[in-house]
Amino acid sequence: MSRGFKLSVLAAAVMAVAPAAQAFEAGDFVLRAGAVHVAPDDSSDSITVGGAPLLGAGVDSKVSVDTNTQLGLRATYMVTNHLGLGVLGATPFKHNINGGGDLPGDLKLGETKHLPPTLTLQYFPMASSSAFQPYAGVGVNYTVFFEEKTSSNLDTALNVASSELELDDSVGVAVEVGMDYMLSENFGLNAAIWWADINTDARVDVFDANGTKLAETDEFEVEIDPMVYMVGFTYKF
């Protein structure tokens, strides 16, 4: 039996009895990056001024929110082999605010950007040696709205020189399910879905050509409540 053959047999035997590489275990940091698509399941209150319909009797003015895709960044710190603390971040999402109710859905009334930092407690049911790692999580979402703008379409409909939109920040529950599949000790693939309870109170102020405030709408609630989808890559260290 040749020396080379003996070494090959020995190496194969060592690999056969060696423990499987750990996928996720206590103390690991797991980073994920990929495309995140936000699909709102939206609805809103009717928009009124002093209790009267915004555009007059018989016109139910509401708003809707369109979809958007951005770069998602997520991180998990494994507290134990089965529990992790997850944080979601992303580049700012930008949404058009369109008509709803009796207003055309393709009528752009404004736009906004938001950041949705989310903290979840994640449960990983599989053994840490498994390359396939499904997980579920529950936590809290804090959504910050900024750069709110109205459109010329809204100014024309209201017959005013200009208008401003204000959106309050939102705090709500978030739930998620996902999976990682590790292709090597450190690198893998990720897919996840989560839902966030995002509601904001909105108001529109209108102004004349001199910048004098003419009126403001009654505060109205907009429920965004999006389903969020992500596919990307996983890196563990």
Model confidence pLDDT, tens digit, residues 77-99: 999 999 999 999 899 999 999 99
| Phi, psi at 151, each rounded to 5° | -105, 165
Residue 81 and residue 69: Cα distance in Å, rounded? 32
Instruction: Name, in order, each residue with C-beta under 8 angstroms of 170's C-beta and a sequence gap of 6 or more.
Output: 141, 142, 143, 145, 197, 198, 199, 200, 224
Residue range 2-21, pLDDT digits in tens: 545 444 443 444 343 334 45
Of 18-27, 80-89, 195-204, 212-221, the range with the lowest mean pLDDT is 18-27
Does domain 3-236 correspond to CATH entry 2.40.160.20?
yes
The rounded percent of the chain whose pLDDT value lies above 90 is 80
CB 198 within 8 A of CB 141: yes
Computed over every residue of the chain, the mean pLDDT equals: 89
DSSP 56: -
The rounded percent of the chain whose pLDDT value lies above 70 is 91
CB 116 within 8 A of CB 196: yes
With bands split at pLDDT 50, 70 and 90, how would you rate the model's confidence at 22? low
Mean pLDDT (whole number) for 37-60: 91
- The predicted pLDDT at position 23 comes to 79
- The predicted pLDDT at position 21 comes to 52
Structure token digits, residue 40: 């709102």
Half-sphere exposure of 102 (CA within 13 A, CB side): 11
Report whether pLDDT(75) > 70.
yes
Domain ranges in the chain? 3-236
Mean pLDDT (whole number) for 196-223: 94
Q: Tell me the Ramachandran region of residue 111: left when phi exceeds 0, alpha when psi lies from -120 to 50, beta otherwise.
A: beta
- The predicted pLDDT at position 15 comes to 40
Residue range 165-182, pLDDT digits in tens: 999 999 999 999 999 999
Residue range 104-153, pLDDT digits in tens: 988 999 999 999 999 999 999 999 889 999 999 999 999 999 999 999 99
